[in-house]
Amino acid sequence: MFGVRAGSAFDGERVVPGGALVLLDDGRIVGVEPGSAPAPDGCEVLEVPGGTVLPGLVDAHVHLCGDGTDGTLDRIGEPSQDGMTAVIGESLRRHLAAGVTTVRDLGDRRFAVLDWRSSAESGGGVYPTVVTAGPPITSVGGHCASMGGEVAGEDQLRGAVQERAERGVDVVKVMTSGGFATTGTQALLCQFVLEELRGVVDEAHAAGLPVTAHAHGLPAVHMAMAAGVDGIEHCSFLTDKGPSQSEEDLARLAEAGTAVCPTLGFAGIPVPKPNAAALLSKLGMTFEQVAELNKRRVGRMHAAGVRVISGTDGGIAAAKPHGLLPLSVAFLVEGGVSTVAALATATSLAAAACGLGGRKGRLRAGYDADLLVVDGDPIADIGVLARPAAVFAGGRRPAGAA
């Protein structure tokens, strides 16, 4: 048995007054005691009186096949299979170093993440738990088509879902609008029609899989809502005059319980692709202005009761590196979400959206021993979340880490 005692604690939902002594054994949390409780006889304890213990973070939107450099998705076909295995391993190490112990991959190169997960490599080290969608389903030449998920027509869409279910994915990802990472696609336009998207949802639900839909443009967001998807990525409500997020739409999203992952946060200013640059000039706004607007828009979404979860889109560009999640959570706080609620979006709520609500995202006996200890109190200052003092994944600490 091993213990972690911190002067402050967040249990995935709320602050634990007086901190906590979290006891770990055999990869599980076996007890969450008051911060002042004596350690069991012979139990070694990591003492962090000035720190905070919380559940390991969950990043609900990553691309492990992307190496976090500009143009990486355009080059995604280039690495050999061994090269891709190395990229995925390095991506996961960066998440873990930032305190992220679970990731949901929402777009890989032709099931490379699924292959990695079933390889000997994944058992050979300490890694975050990986939930994966395989290649995102997209239109011919559509958003992220280079990942290998192009289809046309309802039969092929249904077939693509069946193939993913047979291979063993955990979630189905579908691109309902164009995006900013793929030149030639239009973020404001739909890539499919409602009947086709309904086919995807039907087929996935019949196989017991949730569906999450990438949607930037307002028509795509409306289509995703009408089709009954379980989650919406970005959910930008974008029009050519800027975001158009109505109270009615927010009420409907909140009522449906749809998990919305806004993928907030940038490390620096991204280099826009031509389609993103064209949209910015149409809006007459700078990137910084759009990012600021977006933060506050997501804050209003959260205030309206929408089930917002945290995720980063990590890996797709230099401004979207792996391990960005603490910054993404800080962006939520800047958008008006309380620190406690923002931390829940990156722990218990994200874990539930990943289908892991029964074993991850909370400090609770019986849950996986995934812990993050930070130096300071993130409730008082969310910036502290980016200062990991110790990370445990399944009770194990990564080699060479803090």
Residues engaged in binding Zn ion (CB under 5 A): 313
Shortest gap between Cβ of 218 and Zn ion (angstroms)? 19
Distance separating alpha carbons of residues 64 and 314, to the nearest angstrom = 8
Nearest CB to Zn ion, comparing residues 13 and 313: 313
Nearest CB to Zn ion, comparing residues 46 and 327: 327
Nearest CB to Zn ion, comparing residues 56 and 135: 135
Nearest CB to Zn ion, comparing residues 64 and 190: 64
Shortest gap between Cβ of 177 and Zn ion (angstroms)? 12
Shortest gap between Cβ of 210 and Zn ion (angstroms)? 16
Shortest gap between Cβ of 235 and Zn ion (angstroms)? 12
Nearest CB to Zn ion, comparing residues 100 and 372: 100
Shortest gap between Cβ of 50 and Zn ion (angstroms)? 36
Shortest gap between Cβ of 212 and Zn ion (angstroms)? 10
Shortest gap between Cβ of 63 and Zn ion (angstroms)? 6
Shortest gap between Cβ of 181 and Zn ion (angstroms)? 7
In the complex, residue closest to Zn ion by CB? 313
Q: What is the 3-state secondary structure (H, E, C) of the chain?
A: CEEEEEEEEECCCCEECCCEEEEEECCEEEEEEECCCCCCCCCEEEEEEEEEEEECEEEEEECCCCCCCCCCCCCCCCCCHHHHHHHHHHHHHHHHHCCEEEEEECCCCCCHHHHHHCCHHHHCCCCCEEEECCCCEEECCCCCHHHCCEECCHHHHHHHHHHHHHHCCCCEEEECECCCCCCCCCCCCECCCHHHHHHHHHHHHHCCCCEEEEEEEHHHHHHHHHHCCCEEEEEEEEEECEECCCHHHHHHHHHHCCEEECCCCCCCCCCCCHHHHHHHHHHCCCHHHHHHHHHHHHHHHHHCCCEECCCCCECCECCECCCCHHHHHHHHHHCCCCHHHHHHHCCHHHHHHCCCCCCCCCCCCCCECCEEEECCCCCCCHHHHHCEEEEEECCECCCCCC
Nearest CB to Zn ion, comparing residues 105 and 196: 105
Nearest CB to Zn ion, comparing residues 150 and 313: 313
Nearest CB to Zn ion, comparing residues 203 and 313: 313
